[in-house]
Amino acid sequence: MACTKNTTKKSNGGSAPCVLLTTSRTGKTSTSGVDVQRRKALTTSKVTTVGGGDLEKRNAHHKALTATKATLPIGGGDLDKLGGHNEFCILCRDGAEHYEDNTLFMCTLCPRVVCRLCLQLLPDLETKVLQEDISFRCICCHIKMEQGSAYFGFYNANGLLALDRFLPINGALELSELAKILAAPVIFIHLILVNLSVAGSPLEFTHSFLKPYHTGDSIKYLDVYYDIGSDAKATPYCSKVCKMIKGLKNSFIWECVVIGISTHTDEDFGNPFIGYEDGDTNNYLSTLVDDFLEIILQPWQTIINHAQESYLWMLCCSSLVNNSDSFHGLQEAVVW
């Protein structure tokens, strides 16, 4: 049998002239949107592909950048800073829409909740444990603190048992004792290059997958097309985003923000495409990746700052990371 090889065809955005736009971080300006000298330097410089021995330098550079980045504690901490309690029972993973018929008991040590049906509480016991001086400890915290002992769940102000008999759990804990069921408000923001055809976006797929786990409008997906090929075009983009943010702030404090950027990148230098030059809708322009992220993400900064978690997905060609200069620019923009 003849040896065959299935190799995908080369697919990228081609080349695009590099322009320099004004950014609030660097204060760079240009009279016509194009810095001729820098553009000439970019187009004549040698492109270095990161691979082999260069990979060690790239990793070392990344470690040096992230070494100064502040880290947040993982797990534990003040419960008030964790965004409140879960909306779903840790045992049956249900109960969010039945508060009146099925009471959710909130653990005082973690954000987890357990519903009345899973605890099999009789009416007389439920009245007793709903008193203000009674605290609740979920089964997960009990396992971590007193593994092997009977589970009573409820304690009085002195830390003594509030019930004279253990709680019969209806069902089994199918999740890890470290697991949580969170339905915190999450927003997916998909920033798409003007006239770029996108199909099967991972952001849209993720949103569709997670939507059944959220109640009401606590999960949202936005498609936002951008054309910031000049300083004049960047201003309307910022104004449009600011109007959108005003409406989003009135809905929720978005605890999780996921931003995806779909664009092409220059095949030689890895610069992301930013849109068209004024009066030209045929040829794209590009700019340095750190300046690009500064301009396109700055209007969303208020939502990002209020989020407990934020993620950036770069949906673009591989030249962004294959070129050492553009990859280092991406690292610096994300870290700082």
Mean pLDDT, residues 162-166 taken together: 86
In a shared domain, residues 202 and 302 = yes
**What mean pLDDT value characterizes the chain?**
76
In a shared domain, residues 142 and 198 = no
Q: Which of 146, 161, 182 is the last residue of a domain?
A: 182
In a shared domain, residues 236 and 159 = no
Domain with 131, as residue range(s), is 85-182
Q: Which residues pair with 142 in a beta bridge?
A: none
Residue 9 included in any domain: no
In a shared domain, residues 202 and 285 = yes
| pLDDT confidence of residue 21 | 79
Residue 17 included in any domain: no
Q: What is the pLDDT of residues 262-289, one digit of tens each?
A: 999 998 898 999 999 887 888 899 999 9
Give yes or no for residue 63 having a pLDDT over 70: no
Q: What is the pLDDT of residues 297-319, one digit of tens each?
A: 999 999 999 888 899 999 988 88
| pLDDT confidence of residue 4 | 65
Among 172-181, 238-247, 289-298, 317-326, the least confident range: 172-181
Greater model confidence, 97 or 138: 138
Sequential DSSP letters for 75-109: S-S-GGGGTS--SSBTTTS--TT-TTTSPEEEPSS
Mean pLDDT, residues 8-19 taken together: 68
Give yes or no for residue 213 having a pLDDT over 60: yes
3-state secondary structure of 182: coil
| pLDDT confidence of residue 285 | 92
Q: What is the pLDDT of residues 96-108, one digit of tens each?
A: 554 556 778 889 9
Residue 2 included in any domain: no
Give yes or no for residue 202 having a pLDDT over 60: yes
Q: Do residues 276 and 327 touch, judged by C-beta distance below 8 A?
A: no
In a shared domain, residues 188 and 157 = no
Give yes or no for residue 193 having a pLDDT over 90: yes
In a shared domain, residues 263 and 330 = yes
In a shared domain, residues 126 and 221 = no
Q: Do residues 109 and 118 touch, judged by C-beta distance below 8 A?
A: no
Instruction: Encode burial over 71-103: b for 16+ CB neighbours within 10 A, e otherwise.
Output: eeeeeeeeeeebbebbbbbbbeeebbeeeeebb
Give yes or no for residue 225 having a pLDDT over 90: yes
Q: What is the pLDDT of residues 283-297, one digit of tens each?
A: 899 999 999 999 999
Query: Could you tell me whether strands 309-315 and 256-262 are parallel, antiparallel, or unpaired per DSSP bridges?
Result: parallel
| pLDDT confidence of residue 8 | 47
Give yes or no for residue 15 having a pLDDT over 60: yes
In a shared domain, residues 101 and 126 = yes
In a shared domain, residues 199 and 297 = yes
In a shared domain, residues 244 and 265 = yes
Mean pLDDT, residues 48-75 taken together: 41
Tell me the C-alpha distance between 211 and 94, whole Å. Answer: 15
